[in-house]
């Protein structure tokens, strides 16, 4: 069967989408979108045309094309984007077997079917939309959401370990917990925050929180250390690590006989956004947010 010849934009789309899927697969099926984009730039040969910026929007052409055509992959069930993190579905991993062009054509067919089923026909050509630098509503929303997540990460990384610890305690209070103990400056190791459902800690769960604010991933030994502190019925452990967790640490937490919840930076930000409205004004000031509303098409 003859492989159809793609236009210049679609040929580039096939290459960058395929590369992004490979990257996600190598990283266990998920990664922050910004990291995926940075890695795609290293792997795909991009010429001056691909690196040029659209005059109207100022967006880099290849990045816009990646965002734009990733919508096809979302409609096909190959890809999920949520809070700045990209997730490769099992269907998406299987689609890698189709190759660059095959994956692109399958996703495009799925998008066209979805559009025909859910939206009235339009006269504009999809190719021209990309060439003119106009973003679809969905691609723009995903891109802006990703930029917002990166901005929040930058602000969190500017915090020292004690400020980060205060942020975690504030989040727990926003989630409805009491925090009678937040470790004072100078304390090293052990429990950093204790959280209860009631002021006296008589109602389960009683939460012991360990917090690490650093670039390196939390190790399996550190997770086991927290497990050793969960000695009473109703004790639950939460490990918050801005640097994430090693694969062994994740596996150990999942298989533990005690409940240990792992929270990395992406999940912390997601929870902060979700419970922000329930924080006190004082706690909101630790990482203030401003809501911006977009028209959201069905996605």
Residue 21 has pLDDT above 90, yes or no: yes
Q: Is the pLDDT at 192 greater than 80, yes or no?
A: yes
Question: What is the per-residue pLDDT for 255?
Answer: 92
Measure CA 30 to chain center. 8
Same domain, 149 and 165: no
| CA-to-CA separations, 7 to 84, 136, 171, in angstroms, rounded | 29, 19, 49
Q: What is the mean pLDDT of residues 195-223?
A: 94
Residue 132 confidence (pLDDT):
44
- Asked if the structure places residue 293 within a domain, the reply is no
Residue 1 is assigned to a structural domain of this protein: no
Mean pLDDT over the full length of the chain: 87
pLDDT at 87 over 70: yes
Q: Name the CA dihedral angle for 142, 48, 42, 147, rounded to a multiple of 10 degrees.
A: -20
Q: Is the pLDDT of residue 123 over 50?
A: no
pLDDT at 169: 97
Same domain, 110 and 196: no
Please state, for a pLDDT cut of 70, what percent of the chain lies above it.
Answer: 87
Can you tell me the mean pLDDT for 64-71?
91
Determine the pLDDT at residue 290. 87
Task: Give yes or no: residues 15 and 146 share one domain.
Answer: yes
Number of domains in the chain: 2
Same domain (yes/no): 176, 134: no
Q: Lowest mean pLDDT of 14-23, 114-123, 158-167, 259-268, name the range.
A: 114-123
Judge whether residue 130 has pLDDT over 80: no
Please tell me the predicted confidence (pLDDT) of residue 155.
95
Indicate whether 41 and 85 sit together in one domain: yes
**Domain of 264, in residue numbers:** 161-284
Name the domain boundary from 98, 119, 153. 153
Which backbone phi and psi does 155 adopt, to 5 degrees?
Answer: -65, -35
**What's the pLDDT at 134?**
37
The per-residue pLDDT for 128 is 46
- Which of these, 199, 148, 160, 146, lies nearest to 286 by C-alpha position? 160
């Amino acid at each position: 069967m003859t492989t159809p010849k793609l236009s210049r934009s679609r040929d580039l789309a096939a290459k960058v989408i395929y590369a992004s899927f490979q990257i996600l697969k190598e990283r266990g099926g998920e990664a922050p979108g910004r990291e995926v984009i940075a890695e795609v730039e290293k792997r795909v040969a991009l010429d001056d045309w691909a690196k040029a910026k659209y005059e109207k929007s100022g967006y880099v052409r290849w990045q816009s094309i990646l965002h734009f055509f990733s919508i096809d992959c979302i409609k096909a069930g190959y890809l999920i984007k949520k809070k700045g993190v990209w997730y490769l579905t099992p269907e998406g991993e299987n689609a890698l077997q189709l190759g660059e062009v095959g994956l692109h054509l399958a996703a495009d067919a799925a998008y066209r079917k979805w559009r025909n089923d859910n939206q009235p026909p339009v006269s504009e050509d999809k190719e021209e939309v990309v060439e003119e630098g106009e973003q679809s509503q969905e691609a723009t929303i995903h891109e802006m959401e990703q930029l917002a997540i990166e901005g929040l990460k930058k602000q969190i990384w500017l915090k020292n370990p004690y400020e980060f610890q205060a942020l975690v305690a504030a989040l727990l209070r926003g989630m409805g917990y009491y925090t009678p103990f937040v470790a004072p400056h100078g304390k090293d190791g052990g429990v950093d925050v204790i959280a209860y459902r009631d002021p006296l800690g008589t109602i389960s769960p009683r939460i012991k929180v360990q917090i690490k604010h650093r670039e390196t991933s939390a190790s399996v030994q550190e997770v086991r250390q927290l497990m050793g502190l969960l000695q009473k019925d109703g004790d639950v452990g939460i490990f918050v690590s801005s640097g994430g967790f090693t694969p062994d640490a994740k596996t150990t937490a999942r298989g533990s006989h005690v409940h240990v919840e792992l929270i990395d930076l992406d999940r912390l930000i997601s929870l902060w956004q979700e419970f922000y409205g329930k924080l006190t004004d004082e706690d909101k000031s630790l990482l203030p947010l401003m809501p911006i509303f977009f028209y959201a098409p069905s996605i």
